[in-house]
Amino acid sequence: MIQEEQFKSIVDSVKPSLEAYPVDLSKLYNHFEMSIGSSLTVNHVISHLESRIVETLVTSNEGFYSRDFWLLFKQLVRQQIIERSDLVSYLSVADTLKEASRKLQKNQRFLFFDKNKEWKDAIKLIKDVLILRSPYPNQYTNADNELRFPRLSKPAKGLIWLNEHSFDGLSVESGRFQLPDDQLKVLIESIEKDLRSLGGLKMAVHIFIKLSERFDSALGRYHLCRNCPNTGQEVSAQIPLGYVLNLCIKANNLIGGELTQEVIERFKDELIALGCLYDVQPYSRFEIEFQTVDTLIDFLREISLYDSLFLIRQLRPSDIVKLIQNLFDWVDNSEMQEKLRWNMTQAVEVINAILRLTPPQKTVFFNTKDVITNTQNVNDGVVEIILKAFSHVKPGPNHKFSIPHEVESIDYQFKPLLQIEQDYCLMDLSWCSVGFYEAVASVIRSYVGSERTQERIGLAGERFLKRELVARNVSYSSGKYSYNGKQWECDCVIETKEAIIFIELKSKVLTRKAQGGNDVKLLVDISKSLIDSQIQLGNHEIAIRKQRYLDLEDSSGTTYRLEHKDRGIERISLTLLDYGGIQDRRVIAQLMRLVTTAQFNAVDPKHQVDFDELNEKCRELYSQEIELCKIDVKHKIPYFNSWFLSIPQFLVLLDEVRSNEDFKRELWSTRHLTFSSLDFYFEINEARKMRALSGA
């Protein structure tokens, strides 16, 4: 880590060798002992000096990494805004060093500051470079930085509100914003106080009304996603909607003060400042690209935290009954009736009754009698028991939730209904639908056991997948095969004229701690879902590419020969529920490429076993890639053929599918196209709109 004060001291102690921008280029060449050729340019001199800067500072021993200079620059940009200070002279030098350090090779570093002479020589060269650039300088003012470096500047600008409203101790450390715990507590208490005075449920309804223009009736969801335009387009700091909606549910009151513009604006300012403090909002589509092993953990953490703070977990309402019926097709109704006094058939009928009472984009209140009226085969007492199982009771949902990243304190998502006196409240159905699944899963786990339930849900997911394909006239194969003396199994294979699409399902869900940005839990969850399934898929790809066929034996003993026929191979990792932005194809391609060469070690020894397992999987992925490169010399972009989808996403993918070729068309619709939203639902919806416009 670069010591900021030491850096500033060295910069202050050095003067440039040039006094002003040169008029005579031949003198300039002589000044830097450069040979004079047929043409003389300032840019040639600048390039020469930049090379000398690197030569002066480079070392193969311990030293500063390229990332250290990026963090220094980030620190200075944000300090200049937060502290209202003039750091332009340091920023210009830090930026030049940041760019120069990008030329370092894999095992090279820049010298530590204890090499004082070399650093003074290098800073002198940098200041000469800055003079030569002076007719067209990068000014590094706050306005200029906001345009060129929005991710560094915009959050800092949003946090000025805290300084203007008597919050003490806001600082920047190693490029990250820091607010003392006591001041963070004051900010959160102020937000919650305002929310209670406005009425929590009343504010939630107001928010969903404001979001109505983003609602997609076909997908049954609001398109709340990252806004990552091209460089130069204006992007404002966003309100953390996921956070405030979960606080609305915690407040759980309908009566509040008048929603005046003044009150709403103050409330928005508080929330924007809190969102900026977490600094996870992207401001450019290029932020998603160019990750390294050093940045990977922070990258995944930011994606997960953004999903939790700024977005809401949604499920298409029309899919919820289908999901419950199919994922719990193994549940014995008689046993469930004995244990719970209600069964799956009755639960589905009650859910359908609630759905009939609930129009899209509406918050509804109903009582037990309303549900009874809409059911036929469930007696009144059982309806009441099921409604209780689907409802939050005192002290109410999210009652321990306040701090944004403590996502494990959010429990509203596990039950869809709020009980308010004798009535039940169902907030917007797109947001609450997943609660029906979670409530059913929870009661099944209570008497079957968590591990056994999850295992059986996974197997049911495979059956569900195949039933949905058959319903859409998509043929598939599956089964066990032998290769290289080992037995392997394919969950599902879809063939088209040009492609073989392997699908592997893992039932591992993204835990709440992972959703809150816990790096250990994130890696473990990704390891047991995406990476495990991609290893299996990699084995399938290697086997069929080398052997040219797979003999798949299904559960009935029938063998089908899956022939390669020089078709492309696609690899779909399927999980039960959404993992959010991590499922984006560009994210998983970078993630998979980086982990194959990474070595993970736990700070806390109790996590080392998990990391040892992860490292073993990473080595296996690396071996697979080496093998694939040997088999196919055209294998140039590792994991470009990899996908990471959830069952709800897969159902959306199937909406317009009526054949194997349709399946490929829908899958391919986002294969070479991205809007940088990191939201599969938004991306496929936009792709379909473009196809409709083109008439294809």
pLDDT band at residue 490 under the 50/70/90 scheme: very high
- With CA atoms as reference, report the closest residue to 243 among 314, 312, 311, 309: 309
Mean pLDDT over residues 398-427, rounded?
93
Mean pLDDT over the full length of the chain: 92
Mean pLDDT over residues 199-213, rounded?
92
Cβ pair 341, 383 in contact under 8 A: no
Burial of 45 from C-beta contacts in 10 A (0-12 / 13-18 / 19+): buried
Supply the pLDDT for residue 256.
67
Whether residue 695 is predicted with pLDDT greater than 70 in this model: the reply is: yes
Mean pLDDT over residues 595-620, rounded?
90
Task: Specify the pairing of strand 221-222 against strand 364-366.
Answer: unpaired
Cβ pair 422, 309 in contact under 8 A: no
What CA–CA distances, in Å, run from 361 to 27, 216, 386, 417?
Answer: 73, 10, 24, 16
Supply the pLDDT for residue 635.
63
Whether residue 454 is predicted with pLDDT greater than 90 in this model: the reply is: yes
Rounded to 5 degrees, what are φ and ψ at 460? -65, -35
pLDDT band at residue 581 under the 50/70/90 scheme: very high
pLDDT band at residue 471 under the 50/70/90 scheme: very high
Q: Among the residues of 102-180, which ranges form H helices?
A: 116-132, 142-148, 150-164
Q: What is the DSSP string of 351-381?
A: HHHHHHH--TT--EEE-HHHHHHT-SSS-HH
Q: What percent of the chain has pLDDT over 70?
A: 97
Supply the pLDDT for residue 633.
65
Q: What is the DSSP string of 259-287?
A: --HHHHHHHHHHHHHHHHHHT----SGGG
Supply the pLDDT for residue 464.
97
Mean pLDDT over residues 612-622, rounded?
94
pLDDT band at residue 637 under the 50/70/90 scheme: confident
Three-state SS at 572: strand
C-beta atoms surrounding 566 within 10 Å: 8
Supply the pLDDT for residue 130.
93
* Segment among 85-94, 165-174, 257-266 with least mean pLDDT: 257-266
Supply the pLDDT for residue 233.
65
User: Which pLDDT tens digit goes with each residue over 281-335?
Assistant: 998 888 888 888 888 999 999 999 999 999 999 999 999 999 999 999 999 999 9
User: Which pLDDT tens digit goes with each residue over 14-51?
Assistant: 999 998 888 789 999 999 999 888 788 999 999 999 99
Supply the pLDDT for residue 421.
83
